[in-house]
Amino acid sequence: MKTYLDCLPCFLNQALRAARAAAEDETVQRQVINAVAKMIPELPLDLKPPELARQTYCIIAKITGNNDPFHQAKVEANNAVLAIYPRLQQIVQDAEDRLLTACQLAIAGNSIDLGPKFEYGSVESLINVAVSPLPLAINDYDGFKERLNTCQRILYLGDNAGEIVFDRLFIEEINRVRKLDTYFVVRDSPVINDVTMDDALAINMDGIARVVSSGSDAPATVLSECSSELQQLYRSADIIISKGQGNYESLEGEAGNIFFLLRAKCSLIAKSLGVNVGDCVLKQQGK
């Protein structure tokens, strides 16, 4: 997905939020805003938004000296969802279609995002969504389930802290349906509230999947910036589960049997998908 003019003020807004999280000194915060504002006229719009966002967060880290401004927020998000994990498991166990419900929960978990400026409420509110799941505005569940019956390897591209606990629930349910060779991908180093190896280990993702780094600090899976190991896993995967907006922005139009799971949290993503802002999506690439 290309970058649009509408993305540019979003980069600036994200820079301000990150600068405030990274440093209390308003002088430093102003330096961040000035630097990002200076960069914006030179940004090539033919690149994908996560590629440009990566440049923004590199500037923030360099000026503030803080390369993980949302660390505490990530820890709190992971702990908050872990605390309600037994309730999530019960919701899945009581469901008529357990796999579908676990999938819907994973999509609901995509609400936890410090990037887009869009409010979805507390972690507790996600439980209310889970009990009465929002409809899928794009529903390629049948295609996913059919593909699951014949595949051997899944590459699951993680997105955000907190959300990763919902991913764990979904992967556990996939394993119950059919034991597969599952890889869960994290960012190589901190960026926004995206998942890293530390987050995966904190919620015991390594107990149900092989956790691997993308080899990149981009807030998405930008294949050209990923390690050769990740690129090989990508090519060999029977199913690629792509979580969140960033991964959609970086992988939309790429080859591969990709299933995008996300909530549309900005008008550009919603327009690209043909849905409304806030809608839940399970979309198979190419359909």
186 by DSSP, 3-state: which? strand
231 by DSSP, 3-state: which? helix
Domain co-membership, 80 together with 46: no
pLDDT on residue 1:
82
Domain that holds residue 20: 7-64
H-helix or E-strand spanning residue 281: strand 280-284
Count of domains observed in the chain? 2
Label residue 118 by pLDDT band (50, 70, 90): very low
Domain co-membership, 76 together with 60: no
Mention every residue, 6+ apart, whose C-beta is less than 8 A from residue 103.
141, 144, 170, 261, 282
Evaluate whether 103 touches 176 at the Cβ level (below 8 Å): no
Tokens of 130: 């889970």
Domain co-membership, 54 together with 125: no
Domain co-membership, 163 together with 189: yes
213 by DSSP, 3-state: which? strand
Read off the pLDDT of residues 187-230 as tens digits, 9 standing for 90 and up: 999 999 999 999 999 999 999 999 999 999 999 999 999 999 99
Tokens of 116: 């887009």
The answer to whether residue 2 is domain-embedded is no
The answer to whether residue 254 is domain-embedded is yes
Beta strand 153-157 pairing with 181-186: parallel
DSSP 7-36: HHHHHHHHHHHHHHHH-S-HHHHHHHHHHH
Average pLDDT over every residue of 27-55: 92
CATH of the domain at 162: 3.40.50.10880
1 by DSSP, 3-state: which? coil
Domain co-membership, 13 together with 120: no
The answer to whether residue 1 is domain-embedded is no
Tokens of 267: 């008008």
As a whole number of angstroms, the distance between CA 210 and CA 182 comes to 6
At residue 174, does pLDDT exceed 50? yes
In this prediction, what percent of the chain has a pLDDT beyond 70?
Answer: 93
100 by DSSP, 3-state: which? helix
Domain co-membership, 59 together with 185: no
At residue 164, does pLDDT exceed 60? yes
Domain co-membership, 189 together with 253: yes
pLDDT on residue 156:
98
Which amino acid is located at 67 in the chain?
A: N
For residue 272, which of 264, 282, 280 has the smallest C-alpha distance?
Answer: 264
Domain co-membership, 133 together with 219: yes
